């Protein structure tokens, strides 16, 4: 018994293989094109011994249900861009956007011993003027000084707010 909505189709192995593998269509898309249901396409593929794509081929990158155009914000506040062939790409194929911006602005690749620091401390502010490359050692020396300066400014801000409240 055929599924409701399907019809007898004279399948052509080459056409089916071309649509599925060469054009990258999925079974739903092929079924829609032929006015049938995806199960009919799957049966035809099985009949012709056309292998199916692996789960990673079906769900990676642009094909993943949660794909957002290759831009991702990490839990730590950095923006990442999907560029799997970039020399600084992580195992998921993403590169920190500030690395890309800095490399484009300076016309060279970031060295292995260099990291990019956001001058204003805002990890998503990737304007070239807010980014500076430095060695890991330089960065380790800078961070405590910057943290101390931030604490000083926060105290000053608190004092100013109290003054305004007393005046108001």
User: What is the mean predicted confidence (pLDDT) over 120-128?
Assistant: 93
User: Residue 55 has what pLDDT?
Assistant: 76
- Break the chain into its structural domains and give their ranges: 13-54, 71-167
Residue 1: predicted pLDDT? 44
Bridge partners of 115, per DSSP, are 134
Q: How confident is the model at residue 24 (pLDDT cuts 50, 70, 90)?
A: confident
Residue 95 Cα distances to 34, 70, 101, 109, 142, angstroms: 41, 10, 11, 13, 24
Q: Of 92, 162, 104, 94, nearest to 133 (Cα)?
A: 104
Enter the pTM of the model: 0.56
């Amino acid at each position: 018994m055929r599924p409701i909505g399907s019809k007898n189709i004279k399948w052509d192995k080459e056409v089916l293989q071309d649509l599925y593998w060469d054009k990258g269509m999925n079974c739903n898309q092929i079924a829609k094109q032929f006015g049938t249901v995806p199960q009919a396409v799957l049966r035809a593929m099985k009949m012709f011994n056309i292998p199916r794509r692996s789960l990673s081929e079906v769900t990676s990158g642009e094909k993943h249900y949660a794909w957002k155009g290759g831009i991702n914000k990490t839990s730590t506040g950095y923006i990442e861009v999907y560029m799997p062939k970039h020399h600084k790409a992580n195992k998921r194929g993403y590169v920190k956007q500030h690395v890309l911006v800095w490399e484009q602005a300076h016309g060279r690749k970031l060295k292995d011993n260099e990291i990019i620091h956001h001058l204003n401390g805002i990890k998503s502010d990737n304007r070239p003027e807010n980014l500076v490359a430095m060695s890991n050692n330089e960065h380790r020396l800078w961070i405590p000084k910057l943290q101390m300066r931030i604490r000083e400014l926060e105290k000053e801000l608190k004092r100013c707010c109290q003054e305004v409240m007393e005046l108001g």
